[in-house]
A and B are shown apart, each in its own frame.
Chain A
Amino acid sequence: MMDIKSDKQHTYWNPYLGGFLLGLILIMTFFLTGRGLGASGAAKAIVTQTVHTVAPTHAENNAYYADQFLGGKVPISNWLVFEVIGVVAGAFISGSLSGRVFFRVQHSPKITARKRLWFALLGGALFGFGAQFAKGCTSGAALSGMTVLSLGGYIAMLSIFGGAFLFAYFFRKLWL
């Protein structure tokens, strides 16, 4: 299950080509729909839908949940949920073409897979929590915001990457 050697076969694209194509995708998305790309919003939709289904009154009493289903809106029918389903499929196609699709845990040889998984859970929780304050993550707030020259987008980019550089030293043993 864990085949770290095959991860070393780097057949990734030139980053500038990837960035250029990603830029074209952003242009098309804005041109067609008027909105940008995102990711964390899909998690928000899943959480809200689940809470609303399990405890409807509780959800209606919380302004943060209620905002997403007021006026008959269905949280899980959010644009980003469909987009994220597409992302899974797109990544699967790309990975399949390069022989990168198989179950494993990727981690530094100096830490155990178990430790990697716990820190992935912790990092995800922090990211999901922080993205709510900013109303978006690296793709929705920073990248899409920067595309339309939005001040909020630039602040998001500087804070996310600034924060990561600030804290990177303390977690170097997870990666180096």
Chain B
Amino acid sequence: MGPLIPEILSDQWNNIIAIITGMAFGFVLESSGFSSSRKLVGVFYGYDFAVLRVFFTAAITASIGLLFMDYFGWIDMAALDGLPARVWPIVVGGLIMGLGFVTGGFCPGTCITAIGIGKLDGFMFFGGIILGVFVFSEMFPLFENFYNSSNLGDVTVPEFFNINPYWFTVGISIIAIVAFYAVMLIQKRIKSVEY
């Protein structure tokens, strides 16, 4: 049955759905405090774990939901867009993004919510993204080989390790619950930061 586009809903709906989805995304992120850089980076210094809680809860909720829908035959999970595992480009890119996170205090999605409520640091971060994308694009011929290297294809974690996807998701959920409990204990021991 799903995805509904383009089989059931026509392609013209795609941009309308994009705006509505974006509004819901932005509303939930902002309401969860993700428009505040000082709240976001709290996870890296131990004074606020909202990022870990929201991020993990969202990923698990969505995985479990999609697995159920796949089981009921409402959606073909294998047909959904995954991220092809280009291992080393993702690791290098991820580490650079991590450095960007602790220096800039946002990630791209959260800086957009900061812009939505008038934070000038959010505007600056977005300007930085534009700059970073431009520099990368201009230098692309230099990176082209590396960019396309170590590609394991669009494979899932359960496929790669040859384990049952349901048990994998149960395992991730247990890890998340343990992490939620652990950060609750850590937060009690760390001096709170006013922001």
Q: How many residues of B contact A (CB 8 A)?
A: 128
Contact between chains at B57 and A34 (CB < 8 Å): no
Cα(A49)–Cα(B66), bound, Å? 34
**Hey, which chain A residues are within 8 Å of B31, CB to CB?**
12-13, 18, 94, 98
CB-nearest residue of chain B relative to A155?
Answer: B90
Contact partner of B54 among A22, A51, A106, A116, CB < 8 A? A22
Cα(A161)–Cα(B56), bound, Å? 12
B185 to chain A, nearest CB (A): 16
**Hey, which chain A residues are within 8 Å of B24, CB to CB?**
25, 86, 90
Contact between chains at B157 and A150 (CB < 8 Å): yes
- Given A134-B90, A151-B85, A31:B54 Cβ within 8 A: no
Cα(A176)–Cα(B37), bound, Å? 12
Cα(A122)–Cα(B89), bound, Å? 21
Q: Interface readout for A133-156 with B: 1 if CB under 8 Å, 0 if not?
A: 111111101011111111111111
B5 to chain A, nearest CB (A): 5
Cα(A16)–Cα(B180), bound, Å? 10
- Given A22-B29, A123-B103, A126-B103, A86:B132 Cβ within 8 A: no
Contact between chains at A128 and B121 (CB < 8 Å): no
Contact between chains at B97 and A90 (CB < 8 Å): no
Cα(A128)–Cα(B115), bound, Å? 16
Which of A104, A138, A144, A174 has the largest number of chain B CB atoms within 10 A? A138
Of residues 161 through 176 on chain A, the ones whose CB sits less than 8 Å from some CB of chain B are 161-168, 170-172, 174-176
Contact between chains at A122 and B128 (CB < 8 Å): yes
CB-nearest residue of chain A relative to B49?
Answer: A15
B116 near A: Cβ within 8 Å? yes
**Hey, which chain B residues are within 8 Å of A18, CB to CB?**
28-29, 31-32, 54, 57-58
Q: A43-B126, A132-B136, A152-B82 are in contact. List 18 more A-B contacts (CB 8 A).
A: A22-B25, A26-B62, A30-B3, A43-B130, A62-B141, A63-B140, A91-B117, A100-B30, A106-B195, A107-B121, A124-B130, A125-B128, A127-B132, A130-B99, A131-B97, A147-B66, A160-B98, A161-B98
